[in-house]
Copies of this chain bind each other. A is one copy, B any other.
């Protein structure tokens, strides 16, 4: 089975989003799609006379911001994607982490920064996702989770995709995790889109890191990818839509 993550930059451009949904709908394997947020939440925050607050690339989510991201991620983006997949004959079902208790999280503890209603994933309800797949459905997860005490939480979509892939692998699924983002893959040189590293295993990853050729921004993504491999996910592929479609991008696997 395949777990796809499509990022905000893919969602922001309707043409790219439609191409990505064409690609997902064309796959015959069981699939789960996880989507990020994109720029609509910030637009809506601004339209409502507020200012988006980000620290280290993560959103500070106060009460009003939580309502807005819930509306945008679980409401408009999720339902638009589901309706577009349905139009392509793909039997999508949209979920937040609260739906069927799909993704349980806890409010991030307040440290140097108070991220507000940000959620760290505690667990994935893989039997639920498995039950939905057995009904012939394609779960489409948005980055909103819950704490099982009635509180919704804003959660990183990359983390959700990673945790979902690991949980499905633990249920004996053969899982390919595919991250669709704006670059053709992990680059040796951030300014050269032809410098894609085609494969990475733990040894070559360690060597590239020692050489210092992998950009700092990619390191958390790749650390998570290797954690997924260690937890039984067969492969992680990172690339742009056209790279993924061509079987290219960066392919990460075990030793």
Contact = CB atoms under 8 A, between A and B. Distances in A.
B150 A79 contact: no
A131 B128 CA distance: 12
Interface string A78-110: 111011101100011111101111000000000
B144 A79 contact: yes
A71 B82 contact: no
A181 B100 CA distance: 27
A148 B87 contact: yes
A135 interface: yes
Contact of A76 (B71, B80, B94, B148): B71
State how many copies of this chain the complex holds.
2
Given A70-B76, A82-B99, A86-B150, 20 more contacts: A48-B48, A70-B79, A72-B75, A74-B75, A75-B78, A79-B96, A79-B99, A79-B144, A82-B98, A83-B98, A83-B151, A83-B152, A86-B146, A92-B100, A94-B95, A94-B96, A94-B99, A100-B137, A128-B135, A135-B135
Contacts of A78: 74-75
B98 A91 contact: no
A150 B87 contact: yes
Contacts of A93: 95, 99-100
* Chain A: interface size category: 35 or more
Interface string A52-84: 000000000000000100111111101110111
A83 B137 contact: no
Q: 3 closest Cβ contacts across the A-B interface?
A: A75-B75, A71-B71, A87-B150
A96 B78 CA distance: 10
A156 to B, nearest CB: 18
Given A101-B91, A135-B131, A82 B67 contact: no
Nearest to A144: B79
Contacts of A67: 76
Contacts of A131: 135
